[in-house]
Structure 1
Amino acid sequence: MNMDFVKEHRHGWVQSSFALMLVLLLAGCGGNDPNKAIGESEAEAVAVPNAQLNAQSLAEAESQALQADASVPLESLPPGSIAPKVAYTSGAIARKAALVGTLAYRFYNASNGAHLYTISTTERDEWVGNSSFTLEGPAFSVAASSSPGLSPVHRFYNVRNGARFYTASETERANVAATLPHYRYEGVEYHASQVAGTGLVPLYRFYVPSKEFHFYTADEAEKAYIRANLSDVYSYEGIGYHVLSTQTTPEDPPEARVIKHPGVGLTLSDLQTLKANVDQGREPWKSGFNNLANRPNARITYAGRGGPFAKVSRAPDENLNAWRSDMAAISDQALMWYFTQNERYAKTAKWLLLRWATTHVEFSGRESMLDLGDYAAAFVGGAEILRSTYPGWTEADTATVKTYFKNVLIPAANPYGESMFGAANKGSLSLVALGLMAIYNDDAELLDKVVYQTRTLAHIGLRNSNDIGMLGDYLRDQGHAHGQLASLTMLAEALWSQGIDIYSDFDNRLLAAGEYWARVNEFVPTTALPFGTTDRYYTSDVTNRGWDGANRGSVALTQLYGAYVLRKGIQAPFIAQRRLGTSVGGTAFLFLKESDTSKATPPPPLPIPSATSITSGFSSADIGGPSQAGAATYAAGKWNVAGSGWGIWDALDSSHFAYKALTGNSTIIAKVESVENTHPSAMAGVMMRTSLESGAPRAWMAINSNGQALQNMTKLAVYGSSNYANKALTNGSSGPINWVKLERIGNIITGYISPDGTNWAATNVGRINAPVPDTIYVGLVTTSVTSKLNNSVFSNVQITGGDGGAPIVIPAAPAMLLASPGDGAVPLRWQASFGATSYTVHRSTFSGGPSETIASGVKGSSYTDTSVTNGTTYYYTVTATNATGTSGSSPVDSATPR
């Protein structure tokens, strides 16, 4: 038993390691109040249609369990026939449920102290990205779809306190919907059993009057402990219903990963469809093929560009153009072979590839990874076509190319060490090169690593973005912005070919990124939010909107259209609009499809640490011999940290540190409200360090007395070394950028800044070198750079393992809203608000006019309005809500569906 559980629950909130369940079931309850007890005894709490069970009838039913006919629907059993119904469920249905068991994931909501559950992986990943929610793992299993004998569990949302309400009683569902307007119906969440059975465990229900929500637990020891020790806080209400324990859910043995070939974006089925379209003269595929055939590298007479060479380098350039030309030709010649079946093309592609593979031994230069990313789809894609379709290709040829990739090209794609990637497009180019070569090499370990890095590294991958779809390079210039989008999309397409769906990550983030890029380059008025990378933090958009390079981004946009519109049925209005004005030049026609029914599975949840507010529990340390002892105090939602010290830049390490020792992945967030001006270099911020000894490896993000955002990493491995690790990010005059954050995942520490607590830009990334400690020290830091105390004030402090006791404040309005002109629909995306638990969407039919509410209780930061008429212009705003209140309105955006 976790004894912290006692203290936590006496404060009216829950964060234990047990299987707590926010499932509100009033089976057989006569009233319509979801807070009413359903009975003190377990037997009284169980109900089935047309029957009231008790302990005696349950006992009698158990003796008949094996006599039930599993083929008979439960509804067909005689009304009031208790024993057969229990027998049916305890036998056949329990086994059926076990076979279809789906994990229910438990989250803790720091904003209201409740727990909530979902079986939806999409919703799970959205909640993982919500700073108020903490993923606490799978708690039990249920049936995702209907089966005879199982009851649908209905979900409601309590708009007053943000808690979820679940019930398996049809009577109660109807009563709640009819008489409790603050409970909004959200549909069937899953299916469960209302009676006991083999393989099933009871879900015990408690009610917390002080917070007006319920939670459930399937843990017998926990149930007993709460009843014995916490009855003043938790009122026991009996059994809700029965679920499958995570311990009893059968698991299939793990299967070895089988990498599919061809599988770097074009499958064999894709190639066959393309060839049929070209052979039949269908447009635009026929014109696309003709353009391909007229390219110099695709001509049947192509004989190389002077290579191969033993050494190739970029920055400084050496033999680079010869390598580039031949890598492009490998793809073009292989494609021409497949489309024409003329073996001369296949022989040329094979000759080029094997000559480089047996001659080239060094790819060097500061920017080797950029060329490898730019050309990976070409040389790996061509190699895949030869390997999979050309009879003259041998296993020995495959082995030769694998060796070339492993020994020469893969090291050059990540030359600066583990997770040491350049910012934004540079890192994404490394990832796509590594991912595609891992597929060719059947290297599942490397491929899994690339997937992990793409989903976790916040300065280069999917997390190098915000809710409205801005990627890290989007405020640099539109060419590099396209490069980052194109690399991540090409990698996502290759992973889809392998059955891995990262398109769905972070609320379809690549769709948002493609829509934003297409929108601004179609000259749609769009106000950018501050954002950036480890290269630079940008506070305004002065880029070359309307960029028409790379055939207007046609390859990436075609892939995104296929991924979201064709496969997932999600509209992408600006992507579609930009594609209409784009020719079939380049290789976009290769990814153009009329339909796509292929499937892929999202990866498991990410290990991204969550944070909750903290009101007590910081320890204090004066590090590096400051002249005065510091202190940290909390009151009314704010921390005051007073510290002296001589500075914390680089080798200096003299400050006051209020900290917690945290094991494993962790994070801390704070808004720096004020920094006492004891010195121009006085500062306050957040810090992570491996020990409390002066000079220990450490990272901090801080605001100085001039309002500048600063960052520093000392004795950590950082791409670009001190030029990247230690710098000022803002000049203090471009608006308040005073939110700071640090995050540890494994051996990687990432520093962020933000104007609002949700629009986080990863500006510093470092690696803790071995030995990597399990526990590091995480907290608030101040330094005065004098002998005086610097009294600095922090608000909104959240940390992994916090107590959740801070007052909930009304969220700020969403900083940005974007509306898109769909067909009979208007997709909306907005930047999330810190501390919000839901959003309300408002709409008007004329600018500045009164609006109507069209959706409330919206989770996440997107919504599609389907109650529109094509040709009518609509004006939208969004407000953010939590248990304390509702924000003002977001900026207005309009769209005219068409």
Structure 2
Amino acid sequence: MIRLLRPLLLSVSILLIAASTTVPVQAAEPPERPNAAPFNHPGVLVSKGQLDHMRSQVLAGAQPQTAAYEAMKASASASLDYTPKPRAIVECGSNSIPNNGCTDERNDAIAAYTHALLWYVTKDDRYAKKAIQIMDAWSAVLTDHTNSNAPLQTGWSGASFSRTGELIKYTYSGPWAQRNRFEKMLRDVYLPEIRNGAGCKNGNWELIMMDAAIGIAVFLDDRAAFDKAIGIWRGRVPGYVYQKSDGPLPKAPTTCSLDTREEIVDYWQGQSTFSDGLSQETCRDFGHTGWGLTAAAHVAETAWHQGVNLYGEVRKRLTDGFYFHTRIENGAPVPADLCGGTVKKGLGAVTEVVYNHYHNRLGMPMPTTLRYTEGKRPAGSNYFYAWETLTHADNP
């Protein structure tokens, strides 16, 4: 009798779940995979399906991917004559002063990723070889990042290098003789600098560091590093974007102990009134806020490709964060109680990934974010993100 009832109970449960959700059945989110399950490759920020869709759109001349591809191809990062500038020690102080290799490393990492994307679209192995050349140049000499900005610098460059390595390793069948050396560099030079988070630094630091950490973890098939990056992310996002359900004050990140109202207000750039979507860095400037928000989305996107639904855990928090800032960027008046009535705009082209997930995968209406996103197309490259109109626009 029990065996006969089980199929009926299962059917009833499925019907109840379907009736209670507003998300279309075809957009249902995948179940979380067991911890022992192998990683999906390629699966750092972009999946095989997304890469194939990107390529087919460009080959068909479809928009907005084609315009994005042409912009990428015309950039300095795409030149086959690009020459990397590696060094053994990258020294980066506050605001990259001193700047001993900081800009060079970031630019080289983005150039490597650019060539990896060009390889995938064109199947011209000159681009794959150029990406490998850049990765090999750095893995041959780099031993450390130093000075006060070392963790952030490592996050910026590590995010792009991990995407490049993943794409080349799992889509290019040509030789990469020094791949093990590159993997060792990510494991021994990059990961130790970022894996434990950023403590009480501004939140974009830790989110960018986790963007790199989760990418490196997937590329290296390092389950412990993957789980640790997710754990720190889970503790940081609620401490970066406020929700009224948090109570009268924002939460403290798990890596930063803040015990009093005075400490929290100071950490939130002096802002003492809080509303849904406000970020810990809103009253600093929208540029750093955009970095934090998109890094949070990058971690969720990579986790999604590995069967972990971080997006679902912070759905309202993350969509409110983007709405709050894109609304003002689109021209809405700044409330008098926000940052003294004045904000520093400049969120950046940081919305493609989050819009693609919540709107194109899940069907959520996001007209304010869409208006902002379309105004920034085709998205270019900056520090640790690149060409996301090409990779993620209308690409669920």
Shorter-normalised TM-score: what interval?
0.7 to 0.9
Superposed displacement of residue 311, structure 1: 0.9
RMSD: 2.7
One-letter code aligned to 2:302: A
- Is 1:453 paired with 2:232? yes
Find 2:149's aligned residue among 355, 358, 367: 367
Superposed displacement of residue 397, structure 1: 4.1
Match of 2:378 in 1: 584
Higher helix share: 2
Q: Does the 8 A contact of 1:368 with 1:413 survive in 2? A: no
Q: Does the 8 A contact of 2:334 with 2:341 survive in 1? A: no
Q: Does the 8 A contact of 1:262 with 1:388 survive in 2? A: yes
Match of 2:54 in 1: 274
Superposed displacement of residue 346, structure 1: 1.2
Q: Does the 8 A contact of 2:109 with 2:157 survive in 1? A: yes
1:719-758 matched pairs, under 5 angstroms: none
- Is 1:379 paired with 2:174? no
Match of 2:190 in 1: 409
Superposed displacement of residue 347, structure 1: 1.2
Partner of 1:561, secondary structure, is: helix
Question: Taking every aligned residue pair, what percent have the same amino acid on both sides?
Answer: 22
| Structure-2 separation of matches of 1:340 and 1:529 | 51
Find 1:553's aligned residue among 348, 361, 366: 348
Find 1:544's aligned residue among 341, 344, 365: 344
- Is 1:472 paired with 2:253? no
Find 2:5's aligned residue among 93, 113, 116: 93
C-alpha distance 521-254 of structure 1, shift in aligned 2 (>3 A): closer
Partner of 2:37, secondary structure, is: coil
Q: Does the 8 A contact of 2:54 with 2:395 survive in 1? A: no
- Is 1:312 paired with 2:90? yes
Match of 2:265 in 1: none
C-alpha distance 371-528 of structure 1, shift in aligned 2 (>3 A): farther
Q: Does the 8 A contact of 2:115 with 2:131 survive in 1? A: yes
Superposed displacement of residue 516, structure 1: 0.8
- Is 1:488 paired with 2:296? yes
Partner of 1:503, secondary structure, is: helix
Partner of 1:269, secondary structure, is: helix
| Structure-1 separation of matches of 2:241 and 2:147 | 29
One-letter code aligned to 2:87: F
Q: State the structure with bigger RCO (CA 8 A, min sep 6), 1 or 2.
A: 2
Superposed displacement of residue 489, structure 1: 1.4
Instruction: Return 5+ residue gaps in structure 2 as ranges.
Output: 22-32, 244-275, 381-386
Aligned length: 342
- Is 1:297 paired with 2:166? no
Superposed displacement of residue 413, structure 1: 2.3
TM-score (norm 2): 0.79
C-alpha distance 405-595 of structure 1, shift in aligned 2 (>3 A): closer
1:128-527 matched pairs, under 5 angstroms: 144-146=13-15, 256-304=36-84, 307-315=85-93, 316-394=98-176, 397-414=178-195, 420=199, 422-456=201-235, 460-467=236-243, 468-527=276-335
Superposed displacement of residue 358, structure 1: 2.5
TM-score (norm 1): 0.36
Superposed displacement of residue 411, structure 1: 1.8
Q: Does the 8 A contact of 1:372 with 1:429 survive in 2? A: no
Instruction: Return 5+ residue gaps in structure 1 as ranges.
Output: 1-87, 102-142, 147-151, 154-185, 189-252, 531-538, 597-898
Q: Does the 8 A contact of 2:119 with 2:128 survive in 1? A: yes
Superposed displacement of residue 574, structure 1: 1.0
Superposed displacement of residue 95, structure 1: 7.2
Match of 1:37 in 2: none
Tell me the alpha carbon deviations over residues 623-642 of structure 1, each in whole angstroms, 9 at most, x when there is no partner: xxxxxxxxxxxxxxxxxxxx
Superposed displacement of residue 409, structure 1: 0.9
Superposed displacement of residue 594, structure 1: 3.3
| Structure-1 separation of matches of 2:322 and 2:224 | 29
Partner of 1:504, secondary structure, is: helix
C-alpha distance 351-420 of structure 1, shift in aligned 2 (>3 A): same
| Structure-2 separation of matches of 1:592 and 1:94 | 41
C-alpha distance 426-145 of structure 1, shift in aligned 2 (>3 A): same
One-letter code aligned to 2:351: L
| Structure-2 separation of matches of 1:528 and 1:370 | 33
| Structure-2 separation of matches of 1:476 and 1:489 | 20
One-letter code aligned to 1:564: Y
Partner of 1:500, secondary structure, is: coil
| Structure-1 separation of matches of 2:315 and 2:355 | 16
1:772-811 matched pairs, under 5 angstroms: none
C-alpha distance 309-519 of structure 1, shift in aligned 2 (>3 A): same
Find 2:361's aligned residue among 531, 556, 567: 567
One-letter code aligned to 1:412: E
Partner of 1:359, secondary structure, is: coil
Superposed displacement of residue 528, structure 1: 7.1
Tell me the alpha carbon deviations over residues 311-344 of structure 1, each in whole angstroms, 9 at most, x when there is no partner: 1111143222332222121111112222222222
Q: Does the 8 A contact of 1:462 with 1:510 survive in 2? A: no
Asked which structure has the greater CA Rg, the reply is 1
Partner of 2:90, secondary structure, is: strand
| Structure-2 separation of matches of 1:519 and 1:326 | 34
One-letter code aligned to 1:308: P
| Runs of 4+ displaced beyond 6 Å | none
Q: Does the 8 A contact of 1:429 with 1:487 survive in 2? A: yes
One-letter code aligned to 1:446: A
1:635-784 matched pairs, under 5 angstroms: none
Superposed displacement of residue 406, structure 1: 1.1
C-alpha distance 413-528 of structure 1, shift in aligned 2 (>3 A): farther
One-letter code aligned to 1:413: I
Tell me the alpha carbon deviations over residues 13-58 of structure 1, each in whole angstroms, 9 at most, x when there is no partner: xxxxxxxxxxxxxxxxxxxxxxxxxxxxxxxxxxxxxxxxxxxxxx
Superposed displacement of residue 572, structure 1: 0.9
Superposed displacement of residue 268, structure 1: 1.2
Superposed displacement of residue 410, structure 1: 1.2
C-alpha distance 393-542 of structure 1, shift in aligned 2 (>3 A): farther
Q: Does the 8 A contact of 1:373 with 1:487 survive in 2? A: no
| Structure-2 separation of matches of 1:444 and 1:567 | 26
Superposed displacement of residue 424, structure 1: 1.3
Tell me the alpha carbon deviations over residues 526-579 of structure 1, each in whole angstroms, 9 at most, x when there is no partner: 42767xxxxxxxx6453223x2xxxx632x311111111111111112101112
C-alpha distance 387-595 of structure 1, shift in aligned 2 (>3 A): closer
Match of 1:714 in 2: none
C-alpha distance 358-465 of structure 1, shift in aligned 2 (>3 A): same
C-alpha distance 569-557 of structure 1, shift in aligned 2 (>3 A): same
C-alpha distance 254-342 of structure 1, shift in aligned 2 (>3 A): closer
